[in-house]
Structure 1
Amino acid sequence: MQIDTKYFGEINMNDQDVIKFPQGVPGFIDEKEFVLLPLEDNPVFQVLQSTVESELAFIVVNPFLFVTDYEFDIDDNTMELLDIQSEKDVQILSIVSLRDPFETSTVNLQAPVVINQKEMIGKQYITNNKKYATKEAIFSPQVISQAKED
């Protein structure tokens, strides 16, 4: 299949790479199919790209790379919707809000994207966990200063 993307222009994708979001994503309930695309210059981040709407693309990241003790419970309805049978089939991503300068970018830890990578089904899961914010700083001052030294 061929899709138009926000960041990469027109690309070819395999049908088996499409992640189905049965309920859409908050704010875009009619958008039900996405693909994950790597950012070549920065493998930490990926693009969650709509297969239909080229301008609908989210920068996402594995939240455990920035918050090592990140945790939340997935309710039974979501487990059933995503047909999750094993923890190893689950991929967790968080949507990034890019800022200028980049070091001030934030990540949404309160509503992660949960993907059953075996079944290719996903959902943005709203945790309502007050421990995390929708705009958590990605980079601590220590991480920024260490990156500048390297």
Structure 2
Amino acid sequence: MKIATKFLGEIEIIEQDILTFEQGLLGFEDYKKFVLLPIDANLPLILLQSVDQMEIGFVIAYPFAFKKDYSFDISDEDREQLQIEKEEEVLTYTIVTMKGTLQDSTINLLAPIIINMDKKLGKQIVLQDNKSYPLRYPMQTLEGSAK
């Protein structure tokens, strides 16, 4: 299946790779179907692209690469909505706000994106007990592993 993307032009995707965000993303609740697309193998960044709307695409980051002690609990309600049975099913990303260079950009630690890769379900959550995680955390240095 071919889709048009915001940053990568038209590309071929596999339908089984489509993720469903039943509630959409914050501010983009009407868009439910997304796919993860690689940007650069040397960076802990990926593109979360709407399958249905070319203009809706977000650069997202693996947050532990920039803040290795980043941690939070997933509520029982979110676990149920995402059908999480094992921690190994879950990937966590954060939305990147690009500003010039990567070193000038920020990630949103306050509202991570949780994806159950086994069930192909995703959700953006707002951390209630946020341990003072900011909306704009600088991406200046890599702290942890990108894997």
TM-score (norm 1): 0.89
- 2:136 corresponds in structure 1 to 135
**Deviation at residue 102 of structure 1 after TM alignment:** 2.9
**Deviation at residue 40 of structure 1 after TM alignment:** 3.2
Equivalent runs, 1:1-150 vs 2, <5 Å? 1-40=1-40, 42-128=42-128, 129-140=130-141
What are the superposed Cα offsets for residues 89-137 of structure 1, whole Å, 9 maximum, x if unpaired? 0000011000023311000000000000000000011113152011011
Q: How many residues align?
A: 141
**Deviation at residue 41 of structure 1 after TM alignment:** 6.1
* CA distance in structure 1 between the partners assigned to 2:19 and 2:101 by the alignment: 31
- 2:145 corresponds in structure 1 to none
The aligned amino acid for 1:10 is E
* CA distance in structure 1 between the partners assigned to 2:113 and 2:10 by the alignment: 25
Q: 1:109 to 1:30 in 2, by over 3 A?
A: same
List, as ranges, runs of 4+ consecutive aligned residues in structure 1 with deviation greater than 6 Å: none
* CA distance in structure 1 between the partners assigned to 2:42 and 2:105 by the alignment: 15
* CA distance in structure 2 between the partners assigned to 1:47 and 1:39 by the alignment: 6
Higher RCO structure (Cα 8 Å, ≥6 apart): 2
* CA distance in structure 2 between the partners assigned to 1:70 and 1:88 by the alignment: 17
Which sections of structure 2, spanning at least 5 residues, go unmatched?
143-147
The aligned amino acid for 2:51 is T
Tell me, what secondary structure is at the counterpart of 1:77?
A: helix
Contact kept, 8 Å, 2:2 with 2:10, in 1: the verdict is yes
Tell me, what secondary structure is at the counterpart of 1:104?
A: strand
TM-score (norm 2): 0.91
Contact kept, 8 Å, 2:82 with 2:116, in 1: the verdict is yes
Kindly name which structure, 1 or 2, has the bigger radius of gyration based on alpha carbons: 1
- 1:147 corresponds in structure 2 to none
* CA distance in structure 1 between the partners assigned to 2:119 and 2:36 by the alignment: 14
More strand by share: 2
More helix by share: 1
Which sections of structure 1, spanning at least 5 residues, go unmatched?
144-150
**Deviation at residue 42 of structure 1 after TM alignment:** 4.0
